[in-house]
Amino acid sequence: MDELNSEIRRLTLRVWDEVLSTKVEVAETVPTSAGPVVYSCVHISDAWNGVVALSCGERVSGKAAARMFQLKANPTTVDLQDALGELTNMIGGILKAILPQPSRPSLPTSIAGRDFSVRFLHSRVLTAVPFRCDGDFITVAVLQRHAASL
C-alpha cells in the first residue's frame, strides 16, 4: 500500500507539472467540494481487476482543459471531462505497470454534474490520495475488485 500511495503521489505531481505546468501539493485529508465535480475513471482488468479514479473540482479541471487544449474561450463541460479523462488515462496507464501483469486498461469514462455520487460494485477502496491545487481539490483513488466476484 505504501508503494501504491507513493507512486500515486509521484505520478500525480509529475503529470500536473509536466503536462499542465501546474504545481499541486499533497493534502492531509480527502476534501469534499461544495461545487460541481468532474470525475473520471479507467478500469483495469485481467491479472488485476479494479479502477483508477480521478476526481476534482470544476476550477481545477477547467484550468487543466484550458492548458491541455490551449483554449482561449471558457472550456465546455465536455472539454473538462476530456481533459480529466486524458489525465486519468496517463496516471492509470503508468500505475498499471506496478500491478500484476498482464492487465488491460479501458478507455476513460468521465462524469460531471453538481450533485452526483459514484459507486463501484464488488469493489473496495485500496487508497484515496488527496491533493490541493489553486485552492481546489484533486483526489486519485484506486479500487480493487473483490476476488469472490470474479
**Which stretches of the chain bind other proteins, using CB under 8 A?**
41-46, 49-51, 77-78, 81-82, 85, 104-123, 145, 149
- List, in sequence order, every residue forming a beta bridge with 41; answer none if it has no partner: 53, 109
User: Cβ 137 to other proteins, closest distance in Å?
Assistant: 18
Q: What is d(CA 105, CA 53) in angstroms, rounded to the nearest whole number?
A: 12
Grid cell for residue 76: 465546455
Cα angle vertex 85, ends 111, 1, to 5°?
95
For the CB of residue 49, give the shortest distance to other proteins in the complex, in Å.
Answer: 7
Least separation in angstroms between CB 105 and other proteins = 6
Backbone dihedral region for residue 96 (phi beyond 0: left; psi -120 to 50: alpha; all else: beta): alpha
User: 3-state DSSP call for residue 74?
Assistant: coil
Smaller CB separation from other proteins, 109 or 127: 109
Cβ nearer to other proteins, comparing 22 with 45: 45
| Residue nearer to other proteins on the CB measure, 24 or 42 | 42
Q: In the beta sheet, which residues pair with residue 127?
A: 142
CB of 27 vs other proteins, minimal distance in Å: 24
Nearest to 87 by CA among 63, 71, 120, 104: 63
- Do residues 59 and 132 make contact, with C-beta atoms less than 8 angstroms apart? no
